[in-house]
Amino acid sequence: MALTDKQRRFVDAKGEGASNKDAAIAAGYAASSAAVAGSRLAKNPEVMAALEMLKRRPNVKAKKADLAPAADPDSGVGGESEGGEFLDCLPSTDDPLVWLLALMNEPRAKVFDRRNAAQTAVPYVHGKKGEMGKKEQKAEAAKTAGKGKFSAGKPPLTVVGK
């Protein structure tokens, strides 16, 4: 029986060195259940056979590295780094958000890395509106309860003079 699309993507991610959980996320499984799905897929006999075939295949990346153009330090664009990723074109900055956004927008970076950078940067770019605390909720409830039938009465009339 042939591998499904998700199983094939899992095998490809595992072949690139990802953990079971990261490979399952790259394959399209939900992040909340990726650890379980990755463990289950790693034990699947068909997936195990595909991983063995992938390991036996000759290393094609070594041949591609010989054909890649050399890095040009002046342009900031060039060949791959030791990890196989284009990191030399990313800005060197102390701000992690700037670096994550640059990695997310780098077209030569791996899709897996770009997606992870986007997921990590989302809470900092699109902040979630904070909910009210308990005291604020009680004060708001008291304001709404003090309207209508249960509102405060009119103040007493003052006597003007004798």
For residue 3, what are the contacts with CB-CB under 8 A and spacing of at least 6? 11, 46, 47, 50
DSSP structural state of residue 82: T
Residue (of 14, 17, 57) closest to 39 by Cα position: 14
Of 42-56, 62-76, 100-114, 132-146, the poorest mean pLDDT is in: 62-76
Greatest mean pLDDT among 64-73, 94-103, 141-150 lies in 94-103
26 has pLDDT over 80: yes
Q: What pLDDT, on a 0 to 100 scale, did the predictor assign at position 25?
A: 92
56 pLDDT tier (thresholds 50, 70, 90):
confident
Tell me the whole-structure pTM to 2 decimals.
0.37
pLDDT at 58 over 70: no
| 160 pLDDT above the threshold of 80 | no
pLDDT value at residue 66: 45
pLDDT at residue number 35 = 92
Give the right CATH number for 5-56 from 3.40.50, 1.10.10, 3.20.20, 2.40.160.
1.10.10
Would you say 87 and 99 are in contact if contact means Cβ atoms under 8 Å apart?
Answer: no
Parts of the chain belonging to CATH 1.10.10: 5-56
pLDDT tens track for 65-87: 444 444 444 444 444 444 545 56
Side chain identity at residue 98, one-letter code: V
pLDDT score of 36 more than 90:
yes
Measured CA to CA, the distance from residue 17 to residue 11 in angstroms comes to 10
Residue 64 structure tokens: 């591609």
What pLDDT does 59 receive?
57
Longest dimension (CA), the chain: 111
Mean pLDDT of the chain: 77
